[in-house]
Amino acid sequence: MNIALFVAIPLGFAFISILHKKLAPILLIAASLFIIVGLSFVQNGETVIGGFEAPYGIHLLMDSYRLTALYIVNILFLSVVLLNIRKYHQMSTVLLISLTGLNGLIMTGDLFNLFVFLEISGISAYLITSTNKNPLASFQYLVAGTVGSSLYLFGLILLYAMFGSLNLADLSMQVSQLTDKTPVLLPFLLMFLGLGVEVKLLPLNSWVKGILKDANTLSGPMIASVYAAAMSLVFGRILIDLFVFEGRFIVIVSTILLVSILAGEAMAYQSKNVKEILLYSSVAQAGLVVLLFVSGLASWALFMVMANAISKMILFTIIASASEENGDDITVLQGIFTNNKLIGFSFTIASLSVIGLPLFMGFVVKMNALNHLFGEQMFLAIIAILLASVVEGIYFVRLLLHLWTPSETTVTFDIRMKAVLFALAVMLIVFGITVEPIESLKDTIEIGLNVGGTSWRI
């Protein structure tokens, strides 16, 4: 199975889909299913495009890390699509293109090609958010996203001027051979800031609030779960493979991350709108994930992305669906679970997993990450994670109490939504109780990564 097909098939279907409106949703689901089925036939290694070996041409890479990332992104993408395709069928072409972009982002082994896919997935994300009916927020997202990818491009241009190559593996080898690494810190800083916009690190995330506070059942889970997962995993991969952390760069990076985590949790704590609570919480989660990546805990960061993506998908879908009519003020939504036990159950599990309580996937991830950080004596990171978990615990439990308090509110949920979200919630429990699949996956992932040398301590 040639992995270039994971880009070519959705793209070709997108070109066809503009001709026939009725056919477009079918093509979307077909492409999405094709990729998920196709993923079980891929082999690790590189796939050259156009017949020119790297670094002269572009190649796509496949290893356990990327395969896991593709599974996470594509399965969640398909779930979002299946739940929304009836209502938002006019977005089918856009969704096909975003599928192309996200898969390309994860697989590409070339940094300029990564920029191209960043643009493709970015533009489709702006269009997906246009379903929020808040054009100003979408426009701000467009400006922020474009400035972000321009910063990334600027950093990449400087790297190309220095080393004359755009290939990730080639650059990473040349950078690791440098004795003095200060000359490359500026391009790395620019690329870090650029990608930081996409993974919504503070203070680069001014767009998040406008987008997610009006989010609907399509744009909410798509941006907060699918895109967030894909972007953090791509960002993480570059952090591990390419970046070196030295000198002032460490100070800037650690400030950004700690501010993201703590300010994100603080803002979630004092917010009264359910969507705002969720969106600030996901800002903090993004900071935590990047913190794990830069600490060298790549596989645990990957699992944290996975746990978060599943949880956010459940949380955002439920809240977006429940707030369609009356808004998302915490008092309005009081008691929505009284008559919807199954939805309430899924929501509760997702939020408890985010906090990191035992029995759920979030716990396994946080526990192991803390364990490793403790071994490395990175106490600042440990304090940040623990503090974040405590604050999360307070506001999520408060939120759950509100939503479970009996009241007269009658909100009904789609039966398909109940089923899909319940299945995802069960997944969180399964991974929370049985650790073996994660442990064995972790070992195969780490064989493919060259961790070490790039990690640092805060």
Partner 1 sequence: MKKVLALVFVLVLGALIMNHLNDNNLFAGFGDAMLENRVSQSYIDRDATENNDGVVFDESLDLESGAANTVTAIVADYRSFDTLGEVTVLFISSFGVALLLGQSKKRIALEFKPNFMLKIGSRALFAVILMTGVFVSIHGHLTPGGGFPGGAMIASSMLLLYLADDEFRAKMRGFKILESVMGVFYIILGLAGLMITGFFLENFLDNGALGTLFSAGMIPIVYIIIGLKVGSEISSVIDHFLSEEGA
Residues within the interface to partner 1 (CB under 8 A) = 2, 4-5, 8, 11-12, 14-16, 18-19, 47-53, 55-58, 90, 93-94, 97, 100-101, 104, 112-113, 116-117, 119-120, 123-124, 126-127, 130, 158, 161-166, 178, 183-186
Give 436's contacts (C-beta < 8 A, 6+ positions apart).
Answer: none
Nearer to partner 1, 247 or 437 (CB): 247
Kindly give, in sequence order, each residue whose CB lies less than 8 Å from that of residue 70, ignoring residues fewer than 6 positions away: 6, 35, 39, 103, 106, 107
For the chain, what is the total number of helices (H) and then of strands (E)?
Answer: 19, 2
CB of 321 to partner 1, least distance (A): 23
> Strands, E, within 245-382: which ranges?
none
Nearest approach in angstroms of CB 99 to partner 1 is 12
Which residue's CB is nearer to partner 1, number 23 or number 380? 23
- Cis peptide bond upstream of 203, omega within 30: yes
State how far the alpha carbon of 133 is from the alpha carbons of 101, 300, 323, 328, in Å. Answer: 24, 37, 15, 16
Burial class (CB in 10 A: 0-12, 13-18, 19+), 51: exposed
Q: Which is nearer to partner 1, 96 or 305 (CB)?
A: 96
> Whose Cβ is closer to partner 1: residue 248's or residue 416's?
248
> C-beta of 384: minimal distance to partner 1 in Å?
26
Inter-residue contact 126 to 173 (CB < 8 Å) = no
Structure tokens belonging to residue 261:
């985590």
Q: With respect to partner 1, which residue has the nearer C-beta, 50 or 375?
A: 50
CA quadruple 13, 14, 15, 18: dihedral positive or negative? positive
Closest distance to partner 1 from the beta carbon of 171 (Å): 11
Nearest distance, CB of residue 52 and partner 1, angstroms: 5
Q: How far is the CB of 49 from partner 1 (least distance, A)?
A: 4
Cβ atoms 266, 391 nearer than 8 A: yes
Measured from the CB atom, the residue of 99 and 381 that comes closer to partner 1 is 99
Distance CA 213, CA 288 (A): 22
| Residue among 193 and 421 whose Cβ is closer to partner 1 | 193
Q: Which is nearer to partner 1, 115 or 303 (CB)?
A: 115
Q: Where are the alpha helices (DSSP H) in 108-227?
A: 111-129, 135-163, 168-176, 185-198, 206-213, 219-221
Contacts of 411 (CB under 8 A, 6+ apart): 321, 322, 325, 336, 339, 340
Number of Cα atoms under 13 Å in the Cβ half of residue 359: 7
Residue pair 301/229 in contact (Cβ under 8 Å)? The answer is no
Return the number of the residue (211 or 332) whose C-beta is nearest partner 1: 211
CB of 162 to partner 1, least distance (A): 4
Half-sphere exposure of 133 (CA within 13 A, CB side): 4
Query: What's the min distance (Å) between Cβ of 122 and partner 1?
Result: 9
The nearer residue to partner 1, 12 or 393, going by C-beta atoms, is 12
What angle in degrees, to the nearest 10, is found between the helix axes of 206-213 and 135-163? 140
Phi and psi at residue 46, to the nearest 5°: -105, 150
Residue type, 206: S
Closest distance to partner 1 from the beta carbon of 190 (Å): 8
CB of 364 to partner 1, least distance (A): 38
Residue closer to partner 1 by CB (options 136, 415) is 136
CA separation for the pair 314, 422 (Å, rounded): 9
- State the Cα–Cα distance between residues 322 and 217, nearest whole angstrom: 9
Give min distance, CB of 432 to partner 1, in A.
Answer: 39
